[in-house]
Chains A and B, each alone.
Chain A
């Protein structure tokens, strides 16, 4: 356990707020300017920052993040460059904010699990989310990450049966990422009615904080969910705002959602 993530949740809780986990794509529109986007997320109130690393075949992502992946790859983004050119600078500007890498397992395999974990920790990464690596496939990789002090954050889905969800939560590192809707990333006008029950179930079983993600883009949604979760993840809405109107728009969106998270 890196411990950084637990501290960030504790700080938010002490302020009487749910945590905002904010996602943006490294390398969109290019590597240096994405550093400004990540910084803006923290200025807007993000408690944890997810650093997206582009993959050519993002099967868990909807059109907004697919588009960002394509732009980032065109701009020359790679995991190695993100760890060298983006993560250290964001970490220098925002030393309190845990950084979590979100990418697909093939990108990590290509670098080598051990090499990634060591390098990531050195550069200031606290955790990683790999949406195409379910528990059955993650044993060896998680042991490697544990040894390096990088939390492999598990995902739990609406389709996950109760016992499996509890097992995932009990064994979690960092936080549990509860996928709110059966589908890909992207903004949704409505979230499923049984989401709060599911969050309660996972939260009861989990020794670490629980957040809801996928589909969340407004302060109202964040407010509703914050009664049942320790925080929310916002991704596509931020990526869209940053792409359309730059870092300040992403900052404003974070601030707005953060208002919804105040208890």
Chain B
């Protein structure tokens, strides 16, 4: 099933709201992408790199202790945290950098929030030998020192962005401004399933490998499709990647979990699907956090990857039409989930991913015993240790201090 109602449109959402200077480049990208997709050697090359370099397929892991503790559905984890660089972001950057090479582009730019997409882009650029510049909000540069180092170690230039709120949305503004002035020889690797057409489609297609693998693995592991799949939603690349291949399967509940931040009443959250209104941000029409005058509001989340006031247009469409259910988890709930998963399953999930886990227990119980719930474990939490440990560590389990 395809939710694309016209080229680049998902119901009311999507489109290409960019300066005229960029329109020809987006048309060129759209054509080049269609040609690449029609060429079996391109798909084969992407598949080869994902297998040999990224380590795909990622495993589907039974979460036995969480299943027992939550007392409901069988819980399984799709392990994107095991992909090279520690998150699903690499699926898209490998595809887009290969596409850029095919298009003859000489350099790569990207934006990043927490730094995972920046690291994944820098990694793909190192692998394929292209220069890479990453725009990152100055505040995020301070908060994510580990990923800033990783990008620099991989040979990328990190450009701190001082404008606006000095976070992801400003990094994306600056990357677009840079692209406008260097559009002829530069490819802009967008990391979210957001931005102007064709980016939401391109990113979704490269990330859909997650859901495609899951279909096969679920059949092998428990003989049927999952009854529900849950993923965290910021811009939405891991969510659309794992959920998209199941849109046509009415028996599969699709659930997105947004950042509730300090609570939905606090005004400090990243819940664009839950509380946003229709608007245009970063090149597409979608649901955005804005005031009554159309000024974009700053989002808040403990996880830098969910700290974004917009969301991809296809997810907005899936949410508005009811195909995807949307829930939220607060900062505190995500932190509690982080330790629960760490101590019950031996996995340190990323703070973004922890939001999906935070709704796991209630979903497992709603589904009930005998059903199957898959949580997309989108990334690992190493990048977040400074944020998390600054709040203190709970005592060890079952060992006298």
Which residues of chain A have a CB within 8 Å of any CB of chain B? 55-62, 66, 70, 73, 78-80, 104-111, 131-134, 136-137, 155-161, 164, 168, 179, 181-184
Residues of A contacting B177 with CB < 8 Å? 59-62, 183-184
A110 adjacent to B292 (CB under 8 Å): yes
Q: B296: CB under 8 A from chain A? A: yes
Top 5 nearest A-B pairs (CB, nearest first) are A110-B294, A183-B181, A157-B21, A78-B293, A157-B20
Residue contacts A-B, CB under 8 angstroms, 11 given: A57-B169, A57-B173, A104-B280, A106-B280, A107-B293, A107-B295, A111-B293, A131-B19, A137-B17, A181-B181, A183-B181
CA distance A28 to B64 in the complex (A): 61
Residues of B contacting A80 with CB < 8 Å? 293
- Interchain nearest-CB distance for B271 vs A (Å): 18
Residues of B contacting A56 with CB < 8 Å? 164, 295-296
Query: B278 is contacted by which of A109, A182, A183 (Cβ under 8 Å)?
Result: A109
Which B270-310 residues sit within 8 Å CB-CB of chain A?
Answer: 278-283, 288, 290, 292-296
Q: CB-CB contacts of B46-78 with A at 8 A, as 1s and 0s?
A: 000000000000000000000000000000000
Instruction: Please report whether the interface of chain B is mostly helix, strand, loop or mixed according to DSSP.
Output: mixed
Q: CB-CB contacts of B330-362 with A at 8 A, as 1s and 0s?
A: 000000000000000000000000000000000
Given A57-B173, A59-B177, A159-B184, A132-B279 contact (CB < 8 Å): no
Query: B16 is contacted by which of A134, A157, A179 (Cβ under 8 Å)?
Result: A134
Q: CB-CB contacts of B344-385 with A at 8 A, as 1s and 0s?
A: 000000000000000000000000000000000000000000
Q: Apart from A109-B294, A159-B22, A179-B19, what are 11 other A-B pairs with CB-CB below 8 Å?
A: A56-B296, A70-B164, A73-B295, A107-B293, A110-B279, A134-B20, A136-B15, A157-B19, A160-B20, A182-B181, A184-B177
B280 adjacent to A109 (CB under 8 Å): yes
- Interchain nearest-CB distance for A34 vs B (Å): 17
CA distance A56 to B294 in the complex (A): 9
CA distance A137 to B18 in the complex (A): 10
Given A56-B164, A110-B279, A155-B19, A184-B24 contact (CB < 8 Å): no
B292 adjacent to A137 (CB under 8 Å): no
Given A105-B280, A134-B16, A182-B183, A55-B24 contact (CB < 8 Å): no
Residues of B contacting A109 with CB < 8 Å? 278-280, 294
Query: B24 is contacted by which of A59, A105, A131, A161 (Cβ under 8 Å)?
Result: A161
A183 adjacent to B180 (CB under 8 Å): yes
A59 adjacent to B173 (CB under 8 Å): yes
B183 adjacent to A55 (CB under 8 Å): no
Given A105-B17, A111-B294, A182-B183, A159-B279 contact (CB < 8 Å): no
Q: B25: CB under 8 A from chain A? A: yes
CA distance A214 to B294 in the complex (A): 25
Q: How large is the interface on B (under 10, 10 to 19, 20 to 34, 35 or more residues)?
A: 35 or more
B180 adjacent to A184 (CB under 8 Å): yes
- Interchain nearest-CB distance for B394 vs A (Å): 39
Residues of B contacting A156 with CB < 8 Å? 20
Q: CB-CB contacts of B306-342 with A at 8 A, as 1s and 0s?
A: 0000000000000000000000000000000000000
Most buried by B among A73, A78, A136: A136
CA distance A164 to B278 in the complex (A): 29
Residues of B contacting A181 with CB < 8 Å? 181
A59 adjacent to B280 (CB under 8 Å): no
Given A106-B279, A184-B180, A184-B181, A158-B21 contact (CB < 8 Å): yes
- Interchain nearest-CB distance for A216 vs B (Å): 16
Name the CB-closest residue of A to B181. Answer: A183
CA distance A74 to B182 in the complex (A): 32
Name the CB-closest residue of A to B21. Answer: A157
Residues of A contacting B387 with CB < 8 Å? none
Residues of B contacting A160 with CB < 8 Å? 20-21, 23-24
CA distance A80 to B294 in the complex (A): 11
